[in-house]
Structure 1
Amino acid sequence: MWARIFTIALSIIGAVFLMACSEPSTQTSQLQKKVALGRALFNDLRLSRDGQQACASCHDASRAFMDARPNVSSHRRGEPGAVSIGQDGKSLGDINTPSIAYLAFAPDFFFDTSDPEESLYKGGFFLNGRAASLHEQAKGPFVNPVEMQTTVAELAAKVESFYAADFEKIYGAGVFASAGLAYSAISDALVAFERSSEFASFDSKFDRVMAAKESFSEQEQRGFELFKAEDKGNCAACHTVPEPGASKSERLFTDFTYDNLGVPANETVRRLNGLASDYQDEGLLANPAISDESLKGAFRVVSLRNVAVTGPYMHNGVFRDLATVVHFYNSRDVAGAINPETQKPWRAAEVQSTVNREELGDLGLSDGEVEDIVAFMKTLTDRRYEALQ
């Protein structure tokens, strides 16, 4: 009798154990299926209006998820465009396509009141924060009239045609009951892929140094100290340096805020894309959720992960080289200072009324110190992209 009871008890315990183990396993399997589906969608040219452009066209995994394609807006023949071409091969944007590596660790758009002295908008997606969440960001390019140029209904129909069985297995038989439901599922699969380790390896030289596996060169160490120094580069004021044990979202070298850096308009792009000569990109103020005029011309502080291999730079791709960006921060407001790319004085900001003149513009760095900071920023490149530097 007792042997039978003991056997029954073991059977019950075993069943409970299997149930406890199977649920996480099922969840992992489901996530893996979503990631695989998202990867397929990300690379599928057919999802644009004429089948000419995929998400991967503007976010090349082999180039740190930036747009490496040359076009008429390139600073030099054969180099990446300052802005991207749409799927029709002629529509030209006005904003530099940012890398989306590590993007999944950014917070949703919010108003941070944790600091009683300075409440700020933070997070969000696209450089003006117009997408509040990663899911909204994933939806945007499909229906953008300059990018993939399709509609929600057309996109849903194409995805149903190509991927119906896969979507129904993951999201249920009714996933294509409406275009809206399908659109949300498409976004969910893309977000699952963007949250995978393919986008965030955290294996740069900086990471290896922090793990005591390597050491900075003397120049990189000087650059690191200048990067942090409040009386010198002061880069860390916005591109925060992670503390030991920091979470992944705290290791992106950004505080997720918005700032008007005084960047001049990209006159070449404006001439090419047909926008009026007096057009101003209002940045964060163009976000429908924002009405504060003091935020006009402010753009999101981007992560510096892989910054050395993701040029051109600034929100409009106006600068070709990373060193030029540091020179700009250093001498933007110095009389007679020269843009090393044009050999002419720095041009005025596109939006002049809200330029940050307190934290940058006259840092007093020598040319050697600028080079040191650039050397440090190159240590933020993922191992697989180091050969591109």
Structure 2
Amino acid sequence: MLEFSAETLKELVDILVPFMEDERNRRSFLVLALGTDAPVLQHINWNGSVASFTPQMLDQLANIGGKEAFYAVLEYTKSQVGLEGKERINKVIDQFNLLNFQEIKIALCDCSSDLQKLQQESDYVLKNIRVDVGGFNLPRSDLIANAQKLISEASLIEIVGSSGVGKSALLKTLVEYQQKKGQVLVFSGDRITGTSWSNYAGTLQIQQPLNKLLLALSISSQSAIFIDGIDRIGETGKQAVVKDLLYTLGAVPLSEDGSRHWTVVFSAREENLQNVYGWLDWQVLEQPTRLQVPELTQEELQSIVKHSPRLKPLLYLSQLSPILKNPLMLRLLEDPRMLPNLENLPPLATEIEVSKVWWDRLIGNEGSVSGRDRKSALLRLGKQIIKSPGKHFTVEDALTSESIISLTTDQVFI
């Protein structure tokens, strides 16, 4: 956050007043300076006299837009004033130590193509994370509010919980929240490849060095890196990719108040955390702050059943009690074909038994010829993915058009 002395505030107001005479001029000027999608624009009250509006607008820039927005407005103002005005603005830039933003701006231009590729990878990872159960988005309000609070306070956050409990869904929700505040990169433990960042970057066809990419993204005051399923990174070489990322991130200059520009968030199964601690050099940032994702409460489970009444009979099957509070298992059970003959499950069903029912009934279509074809097609695709982890595959690479249509209809592919 930027703080103005009374003298500096007066200087800034004097410089900007000619461009703030009425609401039309104010909007036009700031949109040209910040772009139409700048979040800070949503917080500005455009009414009021020029004398009251201008300092209030500067306060919003400082508190919400941060250095990025503040610098952008000053740079645009320089293009609209004469030599004397430029000199006055440069003195303000010197005072707030914003000169490094000129270097960042240059880096951002050089890295634009690579940043777009990283954004495409982030989008791909997020697209494959489901947050619904049978089309119902469960509003885990308290959990999400706590997570949003933590992300504004901590440099390193670990999202932990049992398998299928909703760790990835929470991570995705946090990404969408954080995207409104700053730059975000998203990686998946299943898709990281290579033996170093340079090697991994080559698979994404990224050319600029990592430190330059992070410098370019550091123009945002609240940037974040998300790694989904960090505990699934088992090979030493792939772990080195993350180590390189965190080590380079640790070398990014601190912000003016001593806090870092970046927050790192990762998800992992709780039982695998000690293995992660064995190789993850988290000391580069700080000791991780834990965010525990619990099983569904009875109230949350009732909300899901209310949306999907077909699940209600399952509440009375004692053998399913260990897994009914697991969102992933509920997604499988929500399909009506899972309901018949569930009494054939063992006294206490686990993820393995329910997944086997899903594989046989939904994928295998009860042993039909088309079901056998679907199983074979998915197994071929799985083998390709295992042989070339991290590579982008399309379903057309391994499946017939008939299988694709059939599996898409059944929402196996989304």
Tell me the TM-score normalised to structure 1 length.
Answer: 0.25
Tell me the TM-score normalised to structure 2 length.
Answer: 0.24
